Amino acid sequence: MTETPKAELPKAYEPSQVEDKWYSLWMERGYFKPDTNSTKQPFTIIMPPPNVTGELHLGHALTASLEDIMTRWHRMKGEPALWLPGVDHAGIAAQVVVERMLAKENKTKYDLGREEFTKRMWAWANSCRQTIRKQHMKLGASCDWDREVFTLDEGPSKAVRTTFKSLYDQGLIYRGERIINWCPRCHTAISDLEVDHKDLNGHLWHIKYPLADDPTRFVTVATTRPETMLGDVAVAVNPDDDRYKALVGKKLVLPLMNREIPIVADDIVDMTFGSGAVKTTPAHDQTDFDIAQRHNLPLINIFDQDAKLNGNAGKYAGMDRYAARKLVVEELAQLGLLVLVQDYAHSVGHCQRCTTVAEPTASRQWFVKMEPLAAPAIAAVKSGEIQILPERFNKVYLNWLENIRDWCISRQLWWGHRIPVWYCKDCGETIVAIEAPTTCHKCCSASVEQDPDVLDTWFSSGLWPHSTLGWPEDNADLNRFYPTSVMETGYDILFFWVARMITMGLHNTGKVPFRTVYLHGLIRDEKGEKMSKVKGNVLNPLTLIDQYGTDALRFGITTGNSPGNDIKLSLNRLEAGRNFANKLFNASRFVISYLNKIEPGTLQITELPAEDRWILSRLNRVIGQVNSFMEEFQFGEAERTIHDFIWGEFCDWYIELSKVRLQSDAGHSPLPVLLKVLDNSLRLLHPFMPFVTEEIWQHLRPYLGDTPDSIMIAAYPEADPAEIDAAAETFVDGLIEVVKAIRNVRAEHKVEAGRWIPAELHTGDLAAELAPYQPIIESLGRVRPLTISDDRVQAESDTERLVLVLRDAELVLPLSGMIDQEAESARAAKELAETESQVTRLSAMLSNEAFTAKAPPQVVAKERAKLEALEDKLKRLKGG
């Protein structure tokens, strides 16, 4: 992107002035596309498709930021990087949104009819897709937008139909009557995973059922849902329960319905619950359904699709379930059959999409046999072929798959993938096909009708990694980019989506869909509470971008975070991101202001003073640490490391040290090192904060020689071991410690900024080496004169002077007119106590095998070095 840089950067960084400009240029130049001619192993990541239910939220922003970090990093490493975007039709969720919009028009989907309602859904979906794409672009997402996929596109639709037929032909999809979760509001079956269970305060009603042959005798049952007794077909007891052994096989009269029902014995009955006898309503309870299957009992469904009682409920037909409950209880009491009512808290399932209480109902639906599909998915994780991060989720994943039940995949919706099943009206034949048949293959009748239901959204989403790349067609993208590299998503959809992608991918392709699963945490507010519109703590990412800039938002939601851990987001984190962007911008502006005085290409690094060797050594250590963190998917730690280096070492110290040399024009110019470190720092930071780094780097390019047109296709830095200089690091760290100590004393005692104070530095063998840095210490510490001597101070602080024990030196400052003696004594005692505390803490941590075994080796080594320095300091503080 050839652009003539300005003479200097603007005085202030304005994100709104640069973000759209650079994103448009990146798009125009095709930088988001992978190099299909490269022989390197590609990096492929498929975007978890946002639902067409509205705008992106902060969770989407986190997903996009993390995936963009990965993609930009791999692209800068020279790998062909494909980040494929997409959007999900969202089945129930999207239909609920549009139905609510219709409700505002006093209409329902039935008023429109299926065809017109579907048109309305498509209009909404297309509008949402455009919104979602624009919002991802605002976030800086470097997706290959030409490959964008919608789950209802023809390619994914064909993949869905192909998969359904394959599973059906293998006997892994079947139609049968089972207990499903029915949403009375959405009028559809929903899977177990789409039911949110909430603990509610209710009651436990104890009801007497008379024996048919002796109405004076009763069996008492306890239930949380007395209205369902209208559909009872038996009362079950445990065969080992002595209270009921003699009654097994006898008949009871079902109160209110006057229908005889048997007493059956079943091991599933808990003798300690209630009276030990349980009413059995197999059409509305999974356990009761299982009992009915074992004892050949009938199913009596007493609810219609609105959860109102139907004709099987006798005189209660047409009543709402809760109104019926109230009336049933009243009538039982009047008949003297209500023995006891207890307060009772129990878990009640709610539809995840609309929060309506779900109704367990026996229904004829389409199911997938999951056990045969789960076995290879279990093996893939156990063998390590797929790695889940963090590892603690392995157990959760395996436990779910090892205990999995068949999956109800049919939904009574009008929006989604229509089930590819047709029924012949003449001969009753069931036809499963990839393409719509025109005639029955059995009787040749043209009177065929498609199943009205659609598939669970997660069925199509489960095919996402391979359907987006063209499966079932055998094409170049599928061969080149599948299996994908990483699946990055929230841990809350490990079951919904990740497990299903693995099962479906293995079934359809014989290969795992991805090598690594990276699970991020949820974004919560600063108090740790989940964000919701009801609580009023929701933050809109676009509003935050307008206020702080995209880079600041990305910084705020990713820095310091680790896989699987929730994020407490406060505006302070966003302010910190904005401040960091401004700090980097201002520091870069300073450096470039000096570079503009030099002819491009004339800067060379020759013999270097200690501070230059120090910053280059620190730079290379940071490069090594960052690349290691990136390889380990510790993106938050990588970003924190870069931030601390740029802000704390490069800006606060090296640039300040270099100013003395720049202003004196004596000795070696620091400009070549300033240029090199700034260039590398920008490239290190680019995957995390792409806009501010591109803006600065474009002004730096003329001085870098032969470089790419954009930082996003520049090489990511690699550490050069030859530039690691431990001696220079030790020396400059000591120099910095001296200046910090002086500054701290001045701050503690409120010494005026313009006031110079004398100082003595007793450094032993380091005196000669420190002597050339006397002007730097004086300038940065505001001390003059500064005396540097090769002796050591043995005496402690007294009424005349303050002695500070540093790592390799003693610093002596005058007390007259500056120090409060009592305050100084308190400070010295506090410093001694704090040093002892730090030594104790670090000693304990380094003695803990759990820490030393799990922490990165470089972290352990850093902590050991810190402990050694603190132990030496403690010894000298005590006068040893």
533 annotated binding-site participant:
yes
3-state secondary structure of 740: helix
**β-sheet with 81-84: strand ranges across:** 81-84, 43-46, 484-490, 514-520, 387-389
Cα distances (angstroms) measured from residue 498 to each of 137, 155, 156: 25, 21, 18
- The helix or strand, by DSSP H or E, that contains position 505, with its residue range, turns out to be helix 500-509
**Structural contact between residues 128 and 14, judged by C-beta atoms closer than 8 angstroms:** no
Cα distances (angstroms) measured from residue 34 to each of 43, 82, 691, 829: 9, 5, 21, 61
Q: Beta strand 214-223 with 195-211: parallel, antiparallel or unpaired?
A: antiparallel
3-state secondary structure of 783: strand
**Structural contact between residues 131 and 55, judged by C-beta atoms closer than 8 angstroms:** yes
- Burial of 169: CB neighbours in 10 Å, binned 0-12, 13-18, 19+: exposed
**β-sheet with 783-789: strand ranges across:** 783-789, 757-762, 810-814, 801-805
Rounded Cα distance, 281 and 234, in Å: 8
Rounded Cα distance, 360 and 183, in Å: 9
Contacts of 153 (CB under 8 A, 6+ apart): none
Block residue for tokens 């004169």 = 785
CA nearest neighbour of 434 among 805, 666, 165:
165
CA nearest neighbour of 454 among 161, 120, 99:
161
Report residue 734 CA to chain centroid gap.
41
List the structure tokens of 265.
């014995």
Rounded Cα distance, 252 and 502, in Å: 50
Q: Beta strand 783-789 with 801-805: parallel, antiparallel or unpaired?
A: unpaired
Number of H helices, E strands in the chain: 28, 29
Q: Any idea of the CA torsion for 169, 173, 174, 179, to the nearest 10 degrees?
A: 180
Backbone φ and ψ for 870, nearest 5 degrees, come out as -70, -40
Other CB atoms within a 10 A radius of the CB of residue 507 amount to: 19
Other CB atoms within a 10 A radius of the CB of residue 510 amount to: 8
Backbone φ and ψ for 754, nearest 5 degrees, come out as -85, 0
List the structure tokens of 737.
């410690």
Q: How many Cα atoms sit within 13 Å of 620 on the Cβ side?
A: 15
3-state secondary structure of 383: coil
Q: Whats the size of the chain, residue-wise?
A: 880
Rounded Cα distance, 162 and 738, in Å: 72
Cα distances (angstroms) measured from residue 304 to each of 300, 320, 440, 465, 534: 12, 10, 33, 39, 31
Q: Beta strand 448-450 with 454-455: parallel, antiparallel or unpaired?
A: unpaired
Rounded Cα distance, 382 and 387, in Å: 9
Rounded Cα distance, 304 and 316, in Å: 12
Cα distances (angstroms) measured from residue 517 to each of 252, 391, 402, 489, 856: 55, 10, 19, 8, 21
The one-character DSSP state at 491 is G
- Burial of 112: CB neighbours in 10 Å, binned 0-12, 13-18, 19+: middle
3-state secondary structure of 803: strand
Residues flagged as binding site for ATP: 533
Binding residues: 533
